[in-house]
Structure 1
Amino acid sequence: MRTTRWITIYTILTVVMGGALGALILSVPRRNGALDWTGQMIAGGWMAWSFPVALFFWTIACLLILFTVLAVRFPETPRLGALRIETTRGDRLFITLLGSAFINLAWLGLSDAAQWGAIVPCLIYAFAVFRWL
């Protein structure tokens, strides 16, 4: 009974977030008949809502939902890491997101390479935070 309830919750969340991703993909503007992945999704809007920006916020929403479900389904006690502070999964997620923002800013300011390349150091950093912090 309890397992069926969780499978239902996982299915509903997957369908909702998949539908949101589908809606984002369908709203990518077209230019000369081709998809313009970096084009403005809201013409004349106050913020540069392009598909990569929307995908970033969709990913953050998915992470927050995932970590909320994990906290409810598998409660944990804080653990002591390398910095000698107690952290939970949510704390480590916040530290990872904050550090990744700084990695991306440094990448933007110090490198001429495409911004997508910053995902590799961000993933290495995330692994290190979740493993040792």
Structure 2
Amino acid sequence: MNRISLVIVACALSAACSPQQAEAPPAGPPEAPAMAATHGKMGGLAAASPGDSIATQGYKSSMNTMMEQMPAFTGDADIDFMKQMRGHHVAAVSMARVELAQGKDAQARSLAQEVITAQEREITLIDAWLAQKGASAAPAG
């Protein structure tokens, strides 16, 4: 067996043995378990740690806020897509603002600014689309 095959087998075994795999997958389309596995351990919330940097605190706060404020699914694929993407875009803008406040690398900071510009533009488009459809863009909660 060559090294690449061994690495693939090791990765597959690692994934198969991870605690997240032991949890029952949520009902829904095949794509849903991937998101649930990513956030499933703590119900979607990133726990604060005593040694967290200011940036890590900001990133965790962005993710926690996103997960707490995601709107309920309506069953309409288009509306659900737009509402869920809006929540992700808001979190991306929040994370990019943390990078601008705390980051030092010029390329990372440049990308953060590009993310803010693009995502805010898309949030505006999503809000207009939702308004046209009579669907609220307001987050849950």
Q: Select the structure that is richer in strand.
A: 1
Structure with the largest fraction of helix = 2
What TM-score results when the alignment is normalised by the length of structure 2? 0.33
